[in-house]
């Protein structure tokens, strides 16, 4: 991994040290170009489309236990419910600033609705919702999920036990989102310095939450 730009290390309160985050972010989006997901506009912020499913299957590390056509068909059947829940979540909501208690019900409901579909896992569900609320809803892939699961088990046993009680539900995804937010709120200045350092790149406008989860992904899978 080559270094281009200032060296910025980010120490997450949950434990992980992200060394040279600028170089990590550049390398991450060289491996997975920004315009393969983040740069593709959506037609309707409240409608998860077939295109969202197609995009969720792209990439060498994409994993799912449900065929894409079955996934599309299942989502179409749930579209009214999903769209209603998305409309309850402000389009401009930002994870680091949002009142998560006010948004808890629609976020949990949204993930519950998606995770109830046979074969859909948290990574699949969050990858199709991310583009619709990109500053609020992260992609919770296996890197992010496993990191917060094990980091919490070491640093906060009580909360970890609570996580074990809700495994596989929208509530569990909400807990992971809340843990990510806890880190994000403590390292906003460092994240903003990283975003400024990559302002020459096409992906420079991505949200803070996307920067953080992308860095966690790269730490585990990108090297």
| Regions of the chain with pLDDT less than 70 | 1-3, 59-65, 167-168, 204
pLDDT of residue 13: 96
CB atoms within 10 A of CB 7: 11
Answer whether 174's CB lies under 8 Å from 107's CB.
Answer: yes
- Taking the alpha carbons of 115, 118, 119, 125 in that order, is the dihedral positive or negative? negative
pLDDT of residue 60: 44
Instruction: Give residue for tokens 């969050």.
Output: 126
- Taking the alpha carbons of 180, 185, 191, 192 in that order, is the dihedral positive or negative? positive
Instruction: Give residue for tokens 């992906």.
Output: 203
Residue 123: its H or E element: helix 122-130
Max CA separation in the chain (angstroms): 49
pLDDT of residue 64: 59
pTM: 0.90
């Amino acid at each position: 991994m080559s270094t281009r730009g200032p060296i910025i290390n980010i120490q997450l309160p949950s434990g992980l040290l992200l060394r040279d985050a600028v170089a990590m972010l550049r390398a991450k989006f060289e491996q997975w170009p920004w315009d393969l997901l983040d740069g593709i506009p959506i037609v309707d912020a409240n409608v998860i489309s077939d295109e969202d499913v197609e995009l969720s299957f792209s990439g060498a590390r994409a994993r799912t236990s449900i065929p894409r056509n079955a996934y599309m068909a299942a989502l179409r059947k749930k579209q009214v419910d999903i769209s209603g829940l998305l409309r309850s979540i402000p389009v401009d909501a930002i994870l680091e600033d949002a009142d998560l208690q006010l948004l808890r019900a629609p976020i949990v409901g949204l993930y519950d609705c998606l995770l109830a579909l046979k074969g859909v896992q948290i990574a699949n569900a969050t990858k199709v919702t991310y583009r619709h609320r990109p500053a609020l809803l992260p992609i919770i892939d296996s890197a992010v999920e496993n990191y917060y699961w094990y980091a919490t088990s070491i640093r906060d046993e009580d909360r970890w036990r609570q996580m074990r009680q809700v495994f596989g539900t929208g509530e569990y995804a909400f807990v992971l989102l809340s843990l990510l937010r806890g880190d994000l709120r403590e390292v906003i200045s460092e994240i903003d310095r990283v975003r400024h350092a990559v302002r020459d790149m096409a992906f420079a406008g991505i949200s803070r939450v996307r920067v953080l989860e992308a860095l966690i992904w790269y730490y585990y899978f990108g090297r």
